[in-house]
Structure 1
Amino acid sequence: MNEHTVRTRVGTVVLRPATRDDAPTLHAWLTDPHAAFWAMGDHDLSQVRDYLDALVQDPAQAPWLGTVDGEPAVYVETYDPARVLLDQVHDAAPGDLGMHLLVAPPGDAPRHGFTSALMSAVVRFCLHGLGAARVVVEPDVRNTAIAAKNAAAGFRVLREVDLPGKRAALSVCTRDDFAASPLGDGVDLAPHLRAGADVPDAGTPDTGDAASPMARAHRHLVAKTLAELSHERLLAPRALGDAEADPQDRATWAWFELALDTDHGLVVHRFRAARFALEHWVIDEPSITRTVDGAAADLDALALVVELQPVLAIPDALLATYLEEVSSTLAAGAAKDHAGGPRADELADADLPTVEAAMTEGHPAFVANNGRIGFSLDDYLAYAPERGARTRLVWLAAHRDHTHLALGAGLDEATHLARQITPDEHAAFTERLAARGHDPAAYHLLPVHPWQWQHRVPVTFAADVARGDLVPLGTGADEYQPQQSIRTLLNRTRPGADYVKVALAIQNMGFLRGLSPAYMRVTPQINDWVHDLVAGDPGFAGFEVLREHASIGYTGDVYHRTAAPSAHRKMLAALWRENPTARTAPGERCATMAALLHRDAHGASYATALVRRSGLDARTWLRAYLDVYLRPLVHALLAHDLAFMPHGENLILVLRDHVPVRAYMKDIGEEVAVLGERALPPEVERVRAVVDDTEKALAIFTDVFDGVLRHLAGILAVDGTLPETAFWAEVADVIDTHRAEHPDLRTGVDLRAQRFAHSCLNRLQLRNTLQMVDLTDQSSSLLYAGTLANPARA
C-alpha cells in the first residue's frame, strides 16, 4: 500500500509508508519532551534511521508518516500483536492490529482539535485502510492524555499488563466501537427518525417520495387518523366540489377538507379520498396538505391529535399516554419504511416467518397501533415482529406450591416437557436446581420473554427469587421469532414445534400485554372443547383451531395477595399453541391473514398479488377466501352461539397455488365467547357471555365486516382488482348459501339486516388509553356511534 487519504476538519491527512529518509523529521519529534512516553529522547539521528530500517524490514511491523495538507504531522507504527510485544500478554484474535501513534510537537501555535482529528484519521486508517477487525494499543498507564484520546476513539481497556519499561493499559477498538465514538462517524442508531430527505440506497426502497421515512410515517398516520376517525364519525370532513369518477372504474374520488380552529390558528387539512360501504375512507396519501392560518405546514400526526383533543374528548390525564403510543407508532412506521421489506409479489411466494416480519401495519383500524411503551431502541431491534430477529427464551423454575400447570387432553407433564426442551436442556436445568440446593421435583419450568426477564423478574419479583420460589435457570437452546402478536414466538430451531406465548409487560394498543395465570388455569380445557366442537361439525370444513394445549402461571407473588387485582398479576405466565406449519401438506404455505391488508413500500398490495398469481378471476379467488374465513364464522355463530376474535393476526391462512384452502383460528383461550345459554362443561363456563340476538350479530358485523372485510374491499377496489359491489355481493351469497344449506337452523340472528350498531374501536382507546375494555365484561364496555348500513343487506 502506497498511501491512504482521510479528510478531516483540520485538513487532508495522507498516510504513507515511512522510510529512513524520514529519520530527521522523526528524530526531531522523538527528542521533544511531549514524546517522553516513547522513551527514545536520547536517540541520535543514526539510531532513529536504524530504528526505521529495522521496522521496514520486519514483516510483522510497519512505520507510517502522515501529513496534513502536505506538512508532516503524525507518525504511526502498526504491528502484529501475536508476534510483536504483546505475544505473551494478549490473546490475539484474527484481524487484530497493534498501533502506536506520535503526533508532531504542537509548536508555537497549537491548533484546537488537531490531535483528535489525527487520532480519528489513524484509527480509521487501521480499521478501513488496512482492514483490521480490532486495533490494539498498550499505552503507559501514566499517560492520561493518550488514555483520554483512546477513550474518545472508542478504545475499551481490557486489563493492565506489564511490558518492558511500563505498566500498560491493554485496550482494543472494533469498527463498531470506533463508529459509535466521539471521534468516529457516530452510529446512526435511528436513521429513520431523521427529518431531512433520504437518498435511497440499496437498503432503502425508492418510493418515488423524496421525504424522509419519518415524514412518510407522519403522512401515513395522518391519513389513517383522518380516515378512521371519520369512519367512527368523530370527524366530518367537508366535501369540496363534485366527486370525480375514476376512468378505470376503481373508485369515485372527491376532495375534502377538515378545518380546526385551534389555539395556534386555523389548521386545515385538505385531501383526496374515496368512500366505500360501511363509511370506509381510502385517502390518497400524497394528496394531503396542511396549512396553519393559510401558510403551508408539515403534516404532523402528533399535532393533529392535540388539535383534535376537544373533538375526541381524550381525558387530560391520559392524553400524554395516548400521544406516547402515537409517537411510538410513528417511530415503528418510520423504521419499517426505512427498512423497505419484500415486494408484494415476492411475499406471495414467501414462508410464514417472512410474511410475518414483512407486515407494516399493527392494526387496520387503530390509529395508535404500535405503542409498545416500555421498549427501548435495543428492545425494538431485538423483539419487534417486523425486525424478523431471533431470540431465546429465559427459563425459570417456579415452585409447584405457587404454580399451576394445565395440560390438554392426552398430554402429561413429561410428554409436554419433552416437546418444549431438549434432553440436554432438561439435564442442565435439573443440575442447576440441585446445585443450588433445590429439589428439582418441587418445581415447574416456566419460560419467560427475555425482555420480561430483564425488566421484571429481577426487580418486580426480587423477593420471589430471593426465597427460591422462582429460580433463574438460564437461556434455552431454541431460537424464536416474534410474530405479529408480539407475545407469540415461533420456534425457528425446530420448525413445526409449538408456538410459545409469554407475558410481556409493555403497554400496547390500550392494554398491558400480560397473561393471566387465572385465565391460564382452564385454557387447555377451553381449547379442547372448542377443538372438539369444530372438528365434529362438517359445517366447519376448511376451518380448524390451533389448540393452546398447555399453560402455566405463577401466583406466589405478593401482587396476588392484594385486595384489588392489577396488571402485576399477569406478568409470569405462558402457554404453548399448536404450530400451523406442522399441518401443511406439500405445496401449501401459511400466511397471517393480516397480510391481506398489507401494502409494500411501493404501494402494491399482497391481496392483489395473490389474486394475480393464482390465475383465477378475482371473484372466484374471493369466494375461496370467504369459504374458509367468513362461512365458518357464520356457522359458529348461528349453529353454536360461538364467537371468535377473527381479526387479521388471529387467523393463519393456508395457501395452495396462491389460493386460500384452509384457515387456522388461534388465540382461543382468551378471546372465544359463547353468547347463548347452551350447556357448557364447568371448566368452559368462563367464556359464556349471554347477549341478545342483535348484539350476537355484531360478532360478524363488527369483527368481520367492519374489522376486516371493509379494508380488503377498499384495497381490491382501488387496485382495480374487484369492484366493491361484486365484493359485497359475494359476501351476501356466502350468508345465503349457508342459510340454504342449513334450513333447519333456528336463530334470531339476522346477518342480512338492513343496519347494525356501529361499534367503534378508537373511541374505546381514546376513552381509556390504559385499558380499553373490561375483559371480564366486554359487552358493557363497547361504544357505539349510531348504525351502519349493511353492505350485505337483503
Structure 2
Amino acid sequence: MSVLATATVYRLDTGAGRFSIEPVDPDHDAELVQEWLSDARSAFWQMGGFSVADVRDYLRGVADDPHQAAWLGRRDGEPTFLVETYDPARVLLVDVHDARSGDVGMHLLVAPPRGERVHGLTSAVMATVVRFVFDGLGAKRIVVEPDVRNEAVARKNAEVGFRVLRKIELGGKQASLAVLDHRAFDGSAVGAVMDMVSLHGSPEPGSHLRPEPMAMAQRHLVAKAIAEFTHERLLAPVVDGDGYRVDTVGSSYRFSASRHALEHWAIDETSLTRNIDDRAAEPDAQVLIMELQAELGIPDALVAVYLEEIASTLASGAFKAARGGPSATELARSDFQTIEAGMTEGHPGFVANNGRIGFGLDEFAAYAPESGASIRLVWLGVRRRLSHLSLSTGLSENELYTAELDPELLGAFADRLRGLGLDPEDYRYLPVHPWQWQHRIAITFAVDVARHDLVYLGEGPDDYRAQQSIRTFFNHTRPDRSYVKTALAIQNMGFLRGLSPSYMRATPAINDWVANLVASDDTLRAARFEVLREHAAIGYTGDVYHRVPSSAHRKMVAALWRESPVPRLQAGERLATMAVLLHRDADGASVATALVRSSGIPAEDWVRAYLEAYLRPVVHCLLAHDLAFMPHGENVILVLDEDVPRRVFMKDIGEEVALLADRALPEAVARICQPVDDREKALAVFTDVFDGVLRHLGAILDGDGTLREETFWRLVGNCVERHAAEHPDLESAVDLRAARFAHSCLNRLQLRNTLQMVDLANQSTSLLYAGTLANPISREAFPRLDDV
C-alpha cells in the first residue's frame, strides 16, 4: 500500500503537547528503539533480548517491505513512541482476518517514562496515532491484534473505540482481533476531544455545544420531563387524536406514548412537537420548566438553581449525543468500566439528574464518568489529632495503607513530610478529588494548609475511573483495590456532594453489622447476595468551620474506602452496573433486550433469574430483618454469567441503609434505626424497586417486544410469592401484594428544595406523596400466581 510508505512528517497540536510522526531511520533510531524494547514494560513485543544490531536489521526489513512501515513519534521534539503500520491483507493477518479495502494494521509502543510520569500521555499518544492512521495514511479502518493478556493496551484500545471481533491464535500468542472505524473513534470520549483539536491551536472548548446535539438533548429531556411529571401527577396529558397533548402557559406539546403499569408513560421522542400559537417551535427544557413553574411548585427563590441543573443536564446530554457511544449490543458485551462510562441517562426518575454545578468544561471532560477519562487522586497528609479514621473490625491503619498504596508511595509521603520538618507519625493519609483540592481545599482551607494541618503530598500513581455517582472512583490500575469515595463540593441532583466526617464515623461499624447479618442468613447465602463494605472512613475536623453549628463546609475534607467486587468474581463471571438494564443507545435499542438475546435463553427465564438475584434478597432483608437498602440501579452491581444475572452486590451501605423497626443495636450502629409502620416499610420495595427500577424495565422489555408487561409483572409476583411460601414462619405484617401503595415522588422532593432534597438523618419525614398507585402484583391483578 503506497499510503504506508509516505515520507511526510505528520504534525498535530494537542492539549498534551505538539506531536510529530516521521518515518523511522533504522541506522539512526535503532539504539533508541532497542532501549525501549528492552524495558520490562515492553515485554509483549517479545523483542526484549534483541541487540541494537538485531533491532536495526528488523527496522530495515520493515522499511524494505512495501506493505509495512515504521514511524517514530515525538512530543515537543522528544522521541516518545514507535508506530508500525501494515497491510493486513498481506502481512500478519492474511489467514485470520477478512481484510477490507482501506484496512491498516497498527502496532504502538510508548516509550517507558523517564523521570516524572506525564498524566494522560498514553491516551494522547494513542489518539494522535489513530488520527494519523486515518488522516495521514487514509485508512478506512484500523486493525489491531494485541496479546489477550495485555490489559493496559486493551483499555487504551477501548478508550478510542476499538471493537473486539474475536480471539485468534497468532504467532504463538492468543490475540484479540479488534477494529476501529472513523465513526467509532469520533464517537469515543477521546475522539470527541480530538475533534476539537486544530493543527495550529489547542482544543476548542465546548465543541459539543452545537445546535444538532443540543436539539437531541432537548428533545430527550423534554420528553422525559413530561413523562416523569405525569407519573408524579403534576401533569395530566389529554387525548389528542391518535396521541396526547399537554398545554402549558405559552406552548402546546403533542406526542405519541404507550402507557404502562404504575402510571408509567413511555413517550416516543420522535413524535414530540411543540407549538406556540399554532407555530412550530423547538422543544426547550428550561422554557418548559418556566411554563410549568406553578404546577411544579418550585419556589421563586430556588427556580434559578433548578434551571441551572437542567442546563447542566442538557450540556451533559449534548456531550453524549455528540460522542455517540457504543451500540446496545456492544455495551452488553463490554467490560465493567466501559459499561459504567457508557451510561447516558443518569437516574431514570429524576429530570434534572446531571447537575454538576461547579465543573467547568475542562473539568467535565476530565472528571465526568461518561468521558471515560483516567483520574489520579490527590493525597493529603492530615494531622492525626485533628482528624479521625474509623476502620472495620480486624483492619488496622497500617493494613489499610499497605493494601491501597504501594510501599514506594508511602515512602515518598513520609519523605515529603520530613522535608517540611514534620513527623510522619503525626499524620494520616486522605485521598482527595483533584477538583476539590484546586477549588475548595487550597482556597477555603488555605489557613489549614498553611499551618500544615493539611499537607499536599501529590498525586498517586493509580489511575481511577469516575463512577455514575461522580465522586466515587474505581481503581483501574489495580481493580482489586478499593473504590474511593471523596467529598466533592459541587451541586448535583439536589445535593452538595460533600461527606460529613462526623456522619461517616460510624460507617465501617454499620457496614460490619450489615455484612455480618447478610453472611449469617441462610437464604441470603444461598442467593450469594453480598454487600460491598465501606471498610474505612477518614475525615478532617480541625478547621474553623467545625465550630459553626451547621454548614456544608464541614463536609469538604473526608473520604471512604469501599471493597471492590473484582476479587470475588468466579470463573466466567463479569460485572455490570444494574443501571445498564435501563439504558438505550442512540438508535433506541436497549441493553436489557440485547442481554436477553445474547444469553440464548427465553426472556421469561432471563427475567426470572434476574429477579431471583436482585428482588428476592431485597424482599427477604425487609421481611426477615426489617432491613431496607437503597437498591436503585447505580447501587447494585450485577454478576453476569453467560449474559444472565446470577447474583448481585449491594453498595452504598453506610449512608442509605435503614433498620425500619425498633430493635436493640450496638451504639455505633444506632443511627440506622428508623422505625416506621408496616405500610411505610413496604415502600422500601414498592417505591425503591417496583417504581424506581421495575416499572422502567418492564416497559422497556414490553416496548421492545421482548416480554409482555403482564408476563413481566406475573414473574415479579411469582418471585414474591415463592419467597413467602418458602418462609411461612416470618412474622412480618408487610403486605407486598396489597391493592395499592402510597405514591412517593422523587421529583417533587427536588422541586420543593433544589439545594437539599431530604434530611439524610431522617429520610422518612422528608417524603412527599401524590395519592396511591395500583400495585401491579396485587391479588386483584393476579388472584392466582404460578410460574410462567
Fold-level similarity (TM above 0.5): yes
Give yes or no for contact 1:392–1:479 (8 Å, CA) kept in 2. Answer: yes
What's 2:209 paired with?
193
Within 5 Å, give how 1:502-541 maps onto structure 2: 502-540=486-524, 541=527
Matched letter for residue 341 of structure 2: A
Q: Does 1:283 align with 2:293?
A: no
> How much does 1:92 deviate?
5.2
What's 1:409 paired with?
393
Give yes or no for contact 1:651–1:666 (8 Å, CA) kept in 2. Answer: yes
Which of residues 593, 596, 607 is equivalent to 2:592?
A: 607
> How much does 1:347 deviate?
1.6
What's 1:545 paired with?
531
Matched letter for residue 189 of structure 1: P
Matched letter for residue 205 of structure 2: L
Which of residues 714, 722, 727 is equivalent to 1:742?
A: 727
Which of residues 343, 355, 373 is equivalent to 1:359?
A: 343
> How much does 1:213 deviate?
1.1
What's 1:76 paired with?
none
Give yes or no for contact 2:388–2:540 (8 Å, CA) kept in 1. Answer: yes
Q: Does 1:722 align with 2:738?
A: no
> How much does 1:93 deviate?
3.8
Which of residues 402, 405, 425 is equivalent to 2:409?
A: 425
> How much does 1:495 deviate?
2.1
Within 5 Å, give how 1:675-690 maps onto structure 2: 675-690=660-675
Matched letter for residue 594 of structure 1: A
Task: State the Cα deviation string for residues 30-53 of structure 1 (Å, max 9, x = none).
Answer: xxxxxxxxxxxxxxxxxxxxxxxx
Matched letter for residue 540 of structure 2: Y
> How much does 1:585 deviate?
1.2
Give yes or no for contact 1:178–1:184 (8 Å, CA) kept in 2. Answer: no
Which of residues 536, 560, 580 is equivalent to 1:575?
A: 560
Which of residues 546, 554, 562 is equivalent to 2:540?
A: 554
| In structure 2, distance between residues paired with 1:589 and 1:177 | 31
> How much does 1:192 deviate?
2.3
Deviates most, 420-429 or 491-500? 491-500
TM-score, normalised to structure 1, is 0.73
What's 2:302 paired with?
318
Matched letter for residue 257 of structure 1: R
Give yes or no for contact 2:663–2:673 (8 Å, CA) kept in 1. Answer: no
Q: Does 1:454 align with 2:438?
A: yes
What's 1:235 paired with?
235
Q: SS at 2:630's partner residue? A: coil
| In structure 1, distance between residues paired with 2:602 and 2:758 | 41
> How much does 1:517 deviate?
0.5
Q: Does 1:389 align with 2:373?
A: yes
> How much does 1:240 deviate?
1.9
What's 1:305 paired with?
289
Matched letter for residue 659 of structure 1: V
> How much does 1:311 deviate?
1.2
Q: Does 1:598 align with 2:583?
A: yes
| In structure 2, distance between residues paired with 1:192 and 1:290 | 24
Q: Does 1:370 align with 2:358?
A: no
Task: State the Cα deviation string for residues 607-626 of structure 1 (Å, max 9, x = none).
Answer: 00010011111111001000
| In structure 1, distance between residues paired with 2:690 and 2:637 | 18
> How much does 1:628 deviate?
1.0
> How much does 1:686 deviate?
0.8
| In structure 2, distance between residues paired with 1:443 and 1:3 | 55
> How much does 1:340 deviate?
1.1
> How much does 1:94 deviate?
5.4
Q: Does 1:256 align with 2:244?
A: yes
> How much does 1:542 deviate?
2.6
Q: SS at 2:724's partner residue? A: helix
Q: Does 1:640 align with 2:640?
A: no
> How much does 1:341 deviate?
1.1
What's 1:487 paired with?
471
Residues 2 and 217 (structure 1 numbering): CA distance in 2 closer, same or farther, change over 3 Å?
Answer: closer
Give yes or no for contact 2:624–2:730 (8 Å, CA) kept in 1. Answer: yes
Residues 785 and 92 (structure 1 numbering): CA distance in 2 closer, same or farther, change over 3 Å?
Answer: closer
Q: Extract structure 1 runs of 4+ deviating beyond 3 A.
A: 1-4, 91-95, 176-181, 183-188
Task: State the Cα deviation string for residues 680-734 of structure 1 (Å, max 9, x = none).
Answer: 1111101111110010000000000000000000100000000000010011111
Matched letter for residue 295 of structure 1: R
Within 5 Å, give how 1:696-775 maps onto structure 2: 696-775=681-760
Matched letter for residue 545 of structure 1: V
Matched letter for residue 675 of structure 1: L
Q: Does 1:626 align with 2:608?
A: no
Q: Does 1:671 align with 2:656?
A: yes
Count, aligned residues? 600
Give yes or no for contact 2:349–2:746 (8 Å, CA) kept in 1. Answer: yes
| In structure 1, distance between residues paired with 2:546 and 2:742 | 38
Aligned-residue CA RMSD in angstroms? 2.3
| In structure 2, distance between residues paired with 1:2 and 1:628 | 59
Residues 568 and 601 (structure 1 numbering): CA distance in 2 closer, same or farther, change over 3 Å?
Answer: same
| In structure 2, distance between residues paired with 1:644 and 1:690 | 14
What's 2:462 paired with?
478
What's 2:153 paired with?
none
Give yes or no for contact 1:179–1:185 (8 Å, CA) kept in 2. Answer: no
> How much does 1:178 deviate?
14
> How much does 1:191 deviate?
2.7
> How much does 1:344 deviate?
1.1
| In structure 1, distance between residues paired with 2:434 and 2:403 | 21
Percent identity over the alignment is: 63
Show structure 1 runs of 5+ residues with no match. 5-81, 83-90, 96-126, 132-175, 196-211, 242-253
